[in-house]
Amino acid sequence: MKDNYFNPKLSINCKGKIINLSTPLTMGIINVTPDSFYDGGINNTTEKALRLAEKHLKEGATFLDIGGYSSRPGAKNITEKQELKRVLPVIEAIVKNFDHPILSVDTFRSIVAKEALKSGASMINDISAFSLDDKLIDVISQNNVPYILMHMQGNPQNMQQNPTYNNLIYELIYFFSNKIKHLKANGIHDIIIDPGFGFGKTLEDNFNLLNNLDKLAVLKLPILAGISRKSMIYKTLKTNSLNSLNGTTALHMSALRNGAKILRVHDVKQAQECIALHLYN
């Protein structure tokens, strides 16, 4: 399908920097948690996170997504203080060492979001769609930054305990429509939707969602696909996250063909190559 079929909002304003989404872009993941599902905490120091940021940026990432709260299924809950201690030094170090990086903070907490924006972040990535902290809306509105609105059934501690849907795609469109209406009523218009692969969804749900991602075009907003190295890949291939890069690349092409405008990834180089091939296909 051609991009003009989807006709989403094609730009976002990141603290005065206009980002054009007519061509798909990549968001490099930087998890500063000790229990990340993929890297197991390998980047949970400021120095290591800084090296990964450099790698992502050199390989072509437009955005860097900094996360200090593990949202893998069954992850341990941590305090706001712990989350702030993890993410703020990393944000500050990246801002200091790189020229105008576009940083997203992966949090559902308004206090963390507020402090991260003060430290140099310019986008909020919220797995909870402001259901876990509705004060997040005020922070986004007051700072006039883009917001990644994700769908999740339940919370990270229980989301994979028998998730069920009558009609997954219809329910997601209904969910997003109501959330978007609320955000716009509060003056928030730079919205990116993330259907939440692996967040309260079965293996079958995830592939149903991927194959019908284009149905979300009715929302007229950019779509972010976060499928990098997730269990929908490695369980299907009977392997593990460390050996799921090839499967990730295959599904990234599917996501791009079905309208994804941002790929949130662990492996920027391969995602960039996928986008380049997609543009010639």
Please confirm, yes or no, whether 264 is among the known catalytic residues.
Answer: yes
The SS3 call for residue 63 is strand
For the stretch 87-97, what's the b/e string if a residue is b when 16 or more beta carbons lie within 10 angstroms of its beta carbon? bbbbbebbbee
CB atoms closer than 10 angstroms to residue 82: 13
E strands, the chain, in order: 11-14, 17-20, 25-31, 63-67, 102-106, 123-126, 147-150, 191-194, 223-225, 260-265
Out of 86, 114, 229, 230, which one is annotated catalytic? 230
Angle 168-185/203-211 helices, nearest 10 degrees? 70
Please confirm, yes or no, whether 72 is among the known catalytic residues.
Answer: no
- DSSP code, position 215: G
Q: Nearest Cα to 183, choosing from 216, 136, 226? A: 136
Active site members = 230, 264
